[in-house]
Structure 1
Amino acid sequence: MTAIFHIIAPVFLAIFVGYAAMRRQFFTQEQLNGLGKFVVRIGMPMLVFNAIATRPMAEVFKPEYFYGYSAASVLAFFIGWQVSRWRKLPPTLAVLNGFAVGMSNSGFIGYPLLLMAIGPSAAVYFAMNVLTESLLIFPLLFAFLDWSKGRGTNARTLLLKIVKNLSGNPIIVAMPVAMVFALGWLPLPLFVEKLSSMLAAATTPLALFMIGGNLYGLSIRGNVGDMMVVAAGKLLMCPLLVGLCLWLAGANDEMLFAGVLFATTPMASLYALFGGLNGFAKETSGAMLLATVLSIVPISLVLLLMAH
C-alpha cells in the first residue's frame, strides 16, 4: 500500500498544486495556456521522440498492445455513444460522451502514473496510445459530430480531416523522425538524446500542473445522473474492455497493466473543449470534473491488483 501511495500521491498533489495556484491567482489563464502549448507542442513530442529513438525498433512497437488497446477504445466509443442515445441525450452530446468514454487522458495523467510504476518504457505505450487516438478516435469523433448535426461526411472530407490531424500533431510528426534512429539508419547524437531527455523530464510535472489549473472554475451543474453514467463508462467499463481485448490479443502482464492503467484515467481534457465549442460546456466540464475526482479509486485498485 505504501508503494501505491507513493505512485498516486505525487500525481494528484501536482494536480492540486495547479488548482490551488489558479485559485490564488498566481497565474492567469493566458499564462496557463502558454504552459499548455509547451507541453503539447514541445514536451510531449520530445518525450515520444526520446522513447522511440533511444530503443531498437523491436522494443518500440508492440502489436498485441496496439491492436488490443485500439479495439477496446473503439468499442468503448460506440458503447458510450449508444448509451447516451438510449438516455435520449442530444445527438451531439451523445457523440461527445462516446469520445469521453473511448479516449483516456493518456499524456497528462496516464503517462506520469505509468512512468512511476514501470519506468522509461511507459513512453512507448504512450506513443502507441497516441497512434490509436489519432488514427481511430479523432476520425470517429469528427465523422459522428458532422453526422449528428445533419452534415454528411464523405470519404474525401474525412480523409482530409485525418491527414490534417496527423500532419498538424507534433507528437505524430516526432514518431517517423525518431524511427530513423530506432531503425539504425542514423546514429543518435548524444546532445540530441540529452536534449530530448531533458525536455521530456520537464513535461510530466507541467502537464499535471496544467490539468489542475484547468479544473479551477469547473463545477458539477446539471443532470448529475447523466454525468455519473459517463464517468462510470470511462472509469469502469473502459478498463474492463481494455483488459479483455488485450488478453484476447495475447498481451503480456506489462502490456495488460499499462493498458488498464491508462484506461482508468479520466477522459481527455479535449472533451470539455469540444463540449464548449458545441454548446455543452456545462455537461462536459461537469462530467470531466466528476471523473477526475473519482478516478483515484480505480487507479488505486489497478495498482493494488497488479502489485499482487
Structure 2
Amino acid sequence: MLSVLTVTVPVFVLIGAGYVAVWKGLFSQPNVDGLMVFTQRFAIPCLLFLAMARLDLAAGFDWRLLTAYYSGSLICFAAGILGTLFWLKRGPEDAVAVGFAAMFANTVLLGLPIAERAYGTESLTPNYAIIAMHAAFCYLVGVTAMEIVQAGGSGFRRGVRNVGLSLARNSLMIGVMLGLLLNLSGLPLPALLEEPIQLVASAALPAALFGLGGVLVQYKPEGDWRGISLCIGIALVLHPVATYAVGKSLDLPEGAFRAAVLTAAMAPGVNSYLFAAMHGRAVRISASAVLIGTAASVLTVSIWLLILG
C-alpha cells in the first residue's frame, strides 16, 4: 500500500498546494486563470501534439481498448440519467447534466500523471488513444441527449454543429489533430521545433495540477447531497468496474487494460461543471462532484492501483 501511495499522494499534494495557495491568498484567482490559460492553450496542447506525433497508431487505437473504456462511459451516462430521474426525482435536463458529469473523467490532469508515475512514460500509448477521442465523444453524447430532451430532437443538428465548431477551436483538440496529421504524414519533426515544444510540454502536468487546485477553490460543496453522492459513486466506482468487466471479456492486453481501468477511475473533470453551467442544469451537483470526487479519488485510485498491480 505504501508503494501505491507514493504514486498517488504527490499528485494530490500538488493539487492541494494550489488549493491552499489560492484559499489563503498566496496566489490570486487572476494568477490561476493565467496559469490555466498557459496550460490549457499552450503546454498541454504541446504535450498532446508530441504524444500523437510519436504514437504507434496500430498499437494505440485498439478497438478493444476503446470499446472497454467508452462502453463504460455510456453505462455511466445511462446510470446518471436513470438515477437522477427515478431516485432524485428530478427532470430530464438535470438527468442529462448529472449523466455527463458521471461520464466525463479527468483523463488529462489526473489520468496522465498518475498513470505515468505508476507505470512509466512508455506505458502511456493507450492513455493518449483514449484522450484523443474523449472530449469529442462525451460532448457529442451529452449535447445530443440535451438537445433531444430540450427541443424534442429539433435542435439536434444545431447542437452537433455547435459541438463541432467548439472542438475545432479547442486548443487540446488542435494539438491532438496536428500531432496525428504529422504522424500520418511520416515526416520527421525538426529538432529546432521539437526541442522547444518539448520544453513547454514538460511544464504542462505540474503546472496544470497546481492550477487545478486553484480552480477547485471556486467550487463549494453544496447542493443535493444525494445527487453529489450519485454522481461521485458512478464516476469513481461504476465506471472503472464496468470498464474492468468489458476489458476482461475482450481479453484486453495487460498494458491497455490497466490504462483503460485506471483512466475510468478518475474523478469528474472540470468540463462536467462547464457542461452543466452551459445548460443551467444541476450546476451545484456537478461543481461539488468535481471538488469532492477529486478529493475522494485519492483513496479510490489507490485501491484500483492495488487491484491492477
Q: TM-score normalised to the size of structure 1?
A: 0.91
List per-residue Cα deviations over 1:130-168 (Å, max 9, x = no partner). 333233210121122233334634553244134213311
Q: Between 250-259 and 116-125, report the one with greater CA deviation.
A: 116-125
User: Is the Cα–Cα contact under 8 Å of residues 134 and 165 in structure 1 kept in the other structure?
Assistant: no
Runs of 4+ in 1 over 6 A off after TM superposition: none
Question: Counterparts of 1:4 and 1:305 in 2: how far apart (Å)?
Answer: 11
Question: Counterparts of 2:161 and 2:57 in 1: how far apart (Å)?
Answer: 29
Change (3 A) 1:288 1:134: closer
Question: What's the Cα RMSD here?
Answer: 2.1
Q: Which amino acid aligns with 1:224?
A: W
Question: Counterparts of 2:37 and 2:123 in 1: how far apart (Å)?
Answer: 22
Identity of aligned residues (%): 23
Unaligned runs of 5+ in 1: none
Q: Which residue of 2 aligns with 1:76?
A: 76
Q: Between 167-176 and 29-38, report the one with greater CA deviation.
A: 167-176
Q: Which residue of 2 aligns with 1:299?
A: 301
Change (3 A) 1:247 1:196: farther
Q: Which residue of 2 aligns with 1:244?
A: 245
Displacement of 1:228: 1.0
Unaligned runs of 5+ in 2: none
Displacement of 1:205: 0.8
State the secondary structure of the residue aligned to 1:295. Answer: helix
Question: Counterparts of 1:275 and 1:158 in 2: how far apart (Å)?
Answer: 15
Q: Which residue of 2 aligns with 1:41?
A: 41
List per-residue Cα deviations over 1:260-283 (Å, max 9, x = no partner). 111111101122233334154332
Residue 161 in structure 1 maps to residue 152 in structure 2: no
Alignment of 1:123-162 (within 5 A): 123-150=124-151, 152-162=153-163
Change (3 A) 1:273 1:182: closer
Change (3 A) 1:145 1:215: same
Q: Which amino acid aligns with 1:302?
A: W
List per-residue Cα deviations over 1:105-140 (Å, max 9, x = no partner). 011111110111122245433332233323321012
Displacement of 1:20: 0.7
Q: Which residue of 2 aligns with 1:192?
A: 193
User: Is the Cα–Cα contact under 8 Å of residues 54 and 188 in structure 1 kept in the other structure?
Assistant: no
Displacement of 1:180: 4.1
Q: TM-score normalised to the size of structure 2?
A: 0.91
Question: Counterparts of 1:141 and 1:26 in 2: how far apart (Å)?
Answer: 37
Displacement of 1:55: 4.2
